[in-house]
Chain A
């Protein structure tokens, strides 16, 4: 039981064929018509359509989660009953729905690009405040798109394997590498490293032991930080081993009570006992909140958005 685009049906076409491109174009136009159609109808009707689509989309995942999973299914296997038939259908549908989601998320990226272009082109054309920065942004974007795709095209061609060795690069590959690694990635890493300055400044100014709670927090933080320093942790273990009783083979008894007080063990205890349980508690709360929110969205109980 193949679902929509997985089988060679009306809903798909051979990869790269003109038939597939035509179907994509038709689907795009139909999608736009549906979107504009929905925008022009009364809100009451639109709300019902959006609510039904949201419910059906969510229902697929809920059924996939709850419905008995087909066991030992092989290609060509026929379902042995209606229950397994629905299981097969849900199993097959995941790929199509996954593609839908990936395409929708991709469209959101495109929407972001469109939004940046619209805002900064307007700023540049009208020469509003800081228009020069908008110019740099648009120029950077244009260069990255051109050389990025050029480099991508080279890597997809017959000489792709040769390009693994920089000695075989052409100027467009060097330019793409300079733009991506030399500029974008370096600036990205540089911006992130600025956090170290803020952390040091904030720790120095704000971390004061004014209460019992703050003292416990500080002590715990110092133990965990010290445990991240291999040299300190190593020396602590050496010291504890020296104080620990020795076994017949001359090795320290790792089961001795005093071993509990090595920095590594204290840090491990903090992580396994206090930290893990706290994070689980937080995750549990967040999970319940997300479930409640998901139910509201799924059943269209949440106000606002496109349904209004």
Chain B
């Protein structure tokens, strides 16, 4: 016979074991993944709407700079943002020059994401978004500070010496590519997009603000500190975390109406809903579970306090 004191309800509510909590988390967050196509009602946030409106207003045929500083550790959010951005750029025939200043793995991760988009295009017999003619990946720059300063000073010299391979040809200077051939300075670039899960957002603001219109796509953790730059008017648009991805996907599907009544049409009938739509219900479940866990713990504490009185 055990001598251990019998636990009351308050104690029980405060002492759910870790394995039980973890099992509930696994089960609860897995369920939505088995039911694809759930449409969660949603109101897109203003920063994401601004981002969508600005991307949709970019001139066709222009070239944007994309600093892709994410890897698969944040693929749930950053991967969705990257794919949403490039789906729009591809469909609007906007060229992109991609580089990274945060992680040596990032260029390969970006290439793989673009390959997935092209696989999707091929499967639907649609034109692909091709390296050299539509986009360039010019690799990793180890020092973010020095690179951003150099880009602000003279983009052609900052990227000098980098090479890429045209279809069927041998390596050539990236400035021979249709992506960069018309770029003389940052003034020729209509927008700069930063996709990041790290503090390169601060470096970009410090070094490039005022030189080129900046937009950022950051993880949920980075959201609050990046919101500061959006509120101050330093960013033309901002996508924060999974909610930001879902906002963009819904805007791509349904389009949006601006305050002045101007209508921006989306891409109805095309693949718009991807990672954001797949993972957003899971985020709901995870957040609900988190709130429930806090409530249960506090109810247990209050029951014990009442009993002690």
Contacts and interface: CB of A to CB of B under 8 A. Distances in A.
Interface stretch (A133-141, A271-279, A298-306): A271-279
A164 B16 CA distance: 50
A99 to B, nearest CB: 8
Nearest to B302: A209
Contacts of B171: 156
B165 A161 contact: yes
Nearest to B227: A271
B165 A218 contact: no
A105 B165 CA distance: 26
Nearest to B197: A192
A248 interface: no
B108 A180 contact: yes
25 contacts: A97-B150, A98-B147, A98-B150, A106-B142, A156-B163, A156-B165, A158-B170, A159-B168, A164-B118, A165-B119, A185-B75, A189-B76, A200-B21, A204-B297, A205-B297, A207-B298, A209-B298, A228-B220, A228-B241, A228-B287, A230-B42, A230-B284, A275-B227, A276-B228, A276-B231
A181 interface: yes
Contacts of A188: 71-73
A234 B163 CA distance: 49
Interface string A228-272: 111101110100000000000000000000000000100010011
Given A161-B167, A203-B293, A264-B43, A272 B231 contact: yes
B143 interface: yes
A283 interface: yes
A157 B170 CA distance: 6
A164 B25 contact: no
Interface string A192-218: 100011011101110111100000001
A91 B43 CA distance: 46
Contact of B287 (A61, A100, A157, A229): A229
A6 B143 CA distance: 19
Interface in A115-131: none
A183 to B, nearest CB: 11
How many B residues are at the interface, by size bracket?
35 or more
Contacts of B105: 180, 184-185
Interface string A92-113: 0011011111101110110000
A186 interface: yes
A225 interface: yes
Contacts of B293: 200, 203-204
B58 interface: no
A222 interface: yes
Given A160-B165, A204-B293, A237-B43, A229 B283 contact: yes
Interface in B7-62: 16, 18, 21-22, 25, 29, 40-43, 46
Given A95-B153, A161-B165, A229-B287, A200 B75 contact: no
Contacts of A280: 228
A155 interface: yes
A143 B142 CA distance: 23
A203 B297 CA distance: 9
A98 B153 CA distance: 10
B154 A91 contact: yes
A191 interface: yes
Contacts of B154: 91, 94-95
Contact of B297 (A101, A180, A208): A208
A166 interface: yes
Contacts of A199: 290
Main secondary structure of the interface of A (DSSP, over half): helix
B75 A276 contact: no
Given A192-B74, A204-B294, A204-B297, A109 B286 contact: no
A184 B112 CA distance: 14
A174 to B, nearest CB: 13
Interface in B197-217: none
B109 A185 contact: yes
Contact of B298 (A208, A226, A229, A234): A208
A235 B165 contact: no
A189 B72 contact: yes
Pick the 5 closest A-B CB pairs, nearest first: A105-B142, A101-B146, A98-B150, A230-B42, A161-B167
B253 interface: no
Contacts of A218: 294
B25 A197 contact: yes
Nearest to A91: B153
Interface stretch (B84-92, B127-135, B174-182): B127-135
A222 B291 contact: yes
A95 B115 contact: no
A77 interface: no
B290 A225 contact: yes
A233 B132 CA distance: 43
B138 interface: no
Contacts of A166: 115, 119
Given A106-B142, A228-B287, A229-B283, A196 B25 contact: yes
B147 A230 contact: no
